[in-house]
Amino acid sequence: MTQHGVERLARFDGNERLLHWANAVLFGVLMVTAAALYLDPLAALIGRRATVRQIHVIAGLALPVPILAALVGPWRAALRRDWAELARWDAGDRRWLRSGGRAYGDGPPGPSDHARHVLRFRAHGKFHPGQKLNAAATLGFIGVLLGTGAIMRWFGPFPLAWRTGATFVHDWTAIVAVVVVAGHIRMALADRPAMSSMIRGWVPADWARQHRPKWFETETGRPAAEANPPHDSSS
Amino acid sequence: MPTPAASSDGAPIGRRVVLAMLGLGALGIVTGSKVQRGLEWALAPILARDGSGLAGLLPVSRFRIYSVTGQTPLRDATTYRLVVDGMVDSTLELNLADLRALPPTRLVRDFQCVTGWRVPDVPWVGVTVGDLIDRAGVQPGAVGVRFYSYDGLYTESLTMEQARRRDVLVAYDMENRAVPPIHGGPVRLYVAPMYGYKSLKWLERIEVTSQTPPVGYWANRGYDQDAWVGRSNGRRDEAT
């Protein structure tokens, strides 16, 4: 697919992008209402605790809706393929995990800023292990926050200590989730073509060739390696 | 989850991460109240020395604001008045300076909420309710004390015997500073031996009553009127 001289590779279909942004909006509403409930100065400023709490609960209960709709509808094919891809970790991914996220790729960082940047975000398959970790963590956050939130809201049938326990887990998980979401946004801003593909659906083929060589080869049938090393884009 | 042949050559680490998180979450629900207590004990020295205020953001040993009204009621400390009336010889009207001029009582006690959170060792300074109503002169036959908040909604009440305890305060200092508006300042009630909902915020009026006063805001909604920590509301917290 070539247009205006840029060869494009489809990365996310409409269903996947819709799921991502529906989830993002719900997370946004949940974080803003959570802040209004949790942070004293904001709580004093905004007040209306009962209303804010209700919005928070409704947004929380809505979390599984986009996921289930995107996974079971007739539009599910691409998402299910990527879902399986995100769940599986090859040897390179596992090496990245063991190194604490410092190492991926096959050699020392290149000489230029651009080469270092490419290496930092590089992975063989369609997704970087950091993205796989983020996807799994997001799913885990949703499950944990939904379960603990439900116990906090409807504590009646449970032992009283569970209410305290659920609050404890909900608070700490939410704090970690905020950090992870902030990290996700930071990484996206640092890798613009990848981020844009969550809006327009495609990446430049050249990005895929440098950042996702194996995926590039599967998609295009052409070798990703080229005679010259990655050039510095600033030169 | 389908696993096409193309990606079946890897470990299902994603699934393990999700399952581990769910497992830890479930474990945390069951053991969290104990872990929380341990964490509070372990972090107490750090929290006490934190000058940045950042530690206040952590869900450890922190107050949570459960105001029942829309906005935080604000009353200027300079124009604040507390009224003591009802079955008394003379109605009292005290400003903040008057209150601070009365013999102070200092307490360092835990604040326990009926929802489970607890803030350990909170320093409080104020005047006991007993001293205040005695200054107004309690008339014979008075059996109860009712408290009014200027949030316009919240009331609390105690029996005369409960109100006369030496650990029931009209508090103007909390954590070594004036009680902030969000915590009920300039003046609030602190009923040390009972759950937090008895410690009414934004106190403006104390009424000595001849009959058992109507129950308080939360007692009206199903919580125990005699809200002793550890001996009410089906809870077994350690006494404060």
Which of A40, A80, A164 has its CB closest to that of B32?
A164
- Count of helices and strands (H, E) across chain A: 12, 3
Tell me if A88 and B36 make a contact (CB, 8 A cut-off).
no
Q: What average pLDDT does this structure show over B193-217?
A: 92
Is B75 buried (19+), middle (13-18) or exposed (0-12) by CB count in 10 A?
A: middle
Q: Please indicate, yes or no, if residue B239 is contained in any of the structural domains.
A: no
- The pLDDT of residue B233: 87
Residue among A96, A168, A178 with most chain B CBs within 10 A, to mutate? A168
The span from the CA of B169 to the CA of B130, in Å, is: 8
Cβ–Cβ below 8 Å for A165 and B33: yes
pLDDT at B3: 42
Whether residue B123 is preceded by a cis peptide bond, meaning omega within 30 degrees of 0, is no
Q: Is the predicted pLDDT of residue B7 greater than 50, yes or no?
A: no
d(CA B98, CA B93) in angstroms, rounded, equals 9
**Which among B107, B132, B125 has a CA at the least distance from the CA of B192?**
B107
Among A81-85, B13-17, B45-49, B198-202, the minimum mean pLDDT is found in B45-49
Position B19 in a domain: yes
CA B165 to chain centre: 17
CB atoms within 10 A of CB A225: 8
Q: Which residues form the domain of B26?
A: 5-57
Residues B42, B128, single domain; the answer is no
Chain A: residue whose CA lies nearest to B184: A44
Taking the CA of residue A51 and the nearest CA in chain B, the distance in Å comes to 9
What is the pTM assigned to this prediction?
Answer: 0.73
**% of chain B surpassing 70 pLDDT:** 89
Q: What is the pLDDT of residue A227?
A: 46
Q: Which residue of B has its CA nearest to A136?
A: B14
State residue A100's pLDDT score. 74
Tell me if B211 sits within 8 A of B143, measured CB to CB: yes
- Cβ–Cβ of B29/A169 closer than 8 Å? yes
Q: Which of A132, A144, A175 sits opposite B21 (nearest CB)?
A: A144
Provide the pLDDT for residue B1.
Answer: 44
Contact between chains at A88 and B3 (C-beta distance less than 8 A): yes
> Closest partner residue to B12 among A87, A162, A163, by Cβ?
A87
pLDDT at B61: 65
Residues of B in contact with A94 (CB under 8 A): 11, 13
Regarding whether B132 and B203 lie in a shared domain, the answer is yes
Rounded distance, CA B206 to CA B70, Å?
23
Say which of B1, B29, B68 has its CB closest to residue A165: B29
**Could you tell me the CATH number of the domain that includes residue B96?**
3.90.420.10
- What are the domain boundaries of chain A? 8-220
- Asked if residue B153 and residue B203 are part of one domain, the reply reads yes
**Amino acid in position B175:** E
- Whether B14 sits inside 8 A of A88 (CB atoms) is yes
Question: What pLDDT sits at residue B117?
Answer: 80
Cα dist from B178 to B116, B154, B172, B174, whole Å: 26, 22, 6, 6
- Whether residue B101 is found in the same domain as residue B203: yes
The proportion of chain B whose per-residue pLDDT surpasses 90, expressed as a percent, equals 55
Alpha-carbon dihedral sign for residues B106, B112, B117, B118: positive
What is the least distance, in Å, from the CA of A226 to any CA of chain B? 25
B146/B209 Cα distance (integer angstroms)? 7
- CA–CA dist A185, A119 (Å, integer): 19
Q: Has residue B181 been placed in a domain?
A: yes
3-state secondary structure of A221: coil
B42, B90: one domain? no
Residues B161 and B91 in one domain: yes
Residue B111 makes CB contacts below 8 A (sequence gap 6+) with B63, B118, B119, B122, B196, B199, B240
Chain B residues in contact with A85 (beta carbon < 8 A): 7
To the nearest whole Å, the CA of A53 is away from the closest chain B CA by 11
pLDDT in tens, B33-59: 788 778 777 776 676 666 666 666 777
Structure confidence at residue A233 (pLDDT): 45
Q: Three-state DSSP class for A94?
A: helix
The alpha carbon of residue B178 is apart from the nearest alpha carbon of chain A, in Å, by 16
Greater pLDDT, A165 or B60: A165
B73 within some domain: no
Question: For residue B130, is it within any domain?
Answer: yes
- Token pair, residue A123, equals 């992975």
- What's the pLDDT score for residue A226? 63
* Residue B6 pLDDT grade (very low, low, confident, very high; cuts 50, 70, 90): very low
Q: What angle do CA A117, A118, A119 make, to 5 degrees?
A: 90
Stretches in chain A below the pLDDT threshold 70: 1-4, 101-121, 226-235
Residue of B nearest to A170 (CA): B25
**Tens digit of each residue's pLDDT (9 = 90 or more) over B148-187:** 998 878 999 999 999 999 999 999 999 899 998 888 989 9
- Residues A87, A73: Cα–Cα separation, whole Å: 20
* Cα separations in angstroms, B112 against B61, B96, B227, B236, B237: 10, 27, 11, 11, 8
Task: Check if the beta carbon of residue A216 is closer than 8 Å to that of residue A17.
Answer: no
User: How far, in whole angstroms, is CA A45 from its chain's centroid?
Assistant: 32
Buried b vs exposed e over B201-226: b needs ≥16 C-beta within 10 Å? bbbbbbbbbeeebebbbbbeeebbbe
CATH of the domain spanning A8-220: 1.20.950.20
Q: Which residue of B has its CA nearest to A91?
A: B10
Do the domain assignments include residue B240? no
- Residue A158's nearest CA partner among B92, B26, B23 is B26
Residue B71: the pLDDT is 67
Look at residue B13 and tell me if it is in a domain. Answer: yes
Q: What is the reported pLDDT for A232?
A: 46
E strand or H helix at A46: helix A40-46
Closest-CA residue of chain B to A134: B14
Contact B60, B39 (CB under 8 A): yes
Average per-residue pLDDT for chain B = 86
Query: Per the domain annotation, does B76 fall within a domain?
Result: no
Domain count, chain B: 2
Counting DSSP H helices and E strands in chain B, the numbers are 4, 10
Of residues A35 and B9, which shows the higher confidence score? A35
The per-residue pLDDT for B182 is 82
User: Could you give the CA distance from residue A145 to residue A151 in angstroms, rounded to a whole number?
Assistant: 10
- CA of A87: which chain B residue's CA is closest? B14
What's the pLDDT band for B67 if we cut at 50, 70, 90? Answer: confident
